[in-house]
């Protein structure tokens, strides 16, 4: 068991393609609870992301800049191996609905089996953000819908440029 004097480091992993206000809400609520929060963008070769890894990291860095104890990084491979590299004792996962919980529970139990020294912290989505997902945001803007308030303004502009070819 780590000594209590060690800084509490948490990792908040995800694809963040793109970051939504729901993701940002979790960052805002989690950052004060830990000494350092690492928002870690997953390099997933099996997914076909809208934004490149570099673009996602850049968007995240821009929107988490106000939080002095939050850093953005990218990783591939097992999450628990990455968490160990960062000396993290906590994995942060957001839960919007029961369907999220079922999947996240399975992942948390496997992570516990692989790294019993690392805890998973489930944080409930804020009520205003409980329906937002990156996939849904992309579908709405792709069909010409309004995504204001669903993503940070700078991310909204990047989505408009990507989907609508304008600012």
**Catalytic: 99?**
no
Residue from 43, 96, 160, 162 carrying the catalytic annotation: 96
Cβ–Cβ < 8 Å for 118, 91: yes
**Catalytic: 134?**
yes
Residue from 56, 89, 93, 134 carrying the catalytic annotation: 134
**Catalytic: 148?**
no
**Catalytic: 47?**
yes
Instruction: In whole angstroms, give the CA distance from residue 104 to residue 72.
Output: 22
Instruction: In whole angstroms, give the CA distance from residue 45 to residue 40.
Output: 16
Residue from 47, 52, 65, 135 carrying the catalytic annotation: 47
Nearest to 154 by CA among 64, 93, 26: 64
Cβ–Cβ < 8 Å for 55, 129: no
- Please, is 4 exposed, middle or buried when counting C-beta atoms within 10 Å of its C-beta (0-12, 13-18, 19+)? exposed
Before 105, cis peptide (omega within 30)? no
Residue from 23, 89, 138, 158 carrying the catalytic annotation: 23
Write out the catalytic residue numbers: 23, 47, 96, 134
């Amino acid at each position: 068991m780590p000594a209590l004097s060690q800084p509490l480091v948490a990792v908040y992993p995800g694809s963040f393609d793109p970051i939504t206000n729901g993701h940002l809400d979790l960052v805002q609520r989690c950052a004060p609870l830990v000494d350092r929060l690492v928002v870690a963008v997953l390099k997933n070769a099996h997914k076909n992301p809208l934004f490149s890894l570099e673009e996602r990291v850049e968007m995240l860095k821009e929107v988490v800049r106000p939080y002095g104890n939050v850093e953005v990084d990218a990783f591939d491979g097992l999450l628990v191996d990455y968490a160990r590299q960062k000396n993290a004792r906590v994995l942060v996962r957001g839960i919007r609905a029961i369907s999220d919980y079922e999947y996240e529970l399975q992942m948390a139990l496997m992570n516990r089996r692989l790294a019993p020294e690392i805890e998973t912290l489930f944080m409930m989505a804020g009520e205003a953000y409980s329906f937002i997902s990156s996939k849904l945001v992309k579908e709405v803007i792709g069909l010409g819908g309004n995504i204001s308030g669903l993503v940070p303004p700078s991310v909204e502009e990047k989505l408009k440029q990507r989907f609508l070819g304008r600012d």
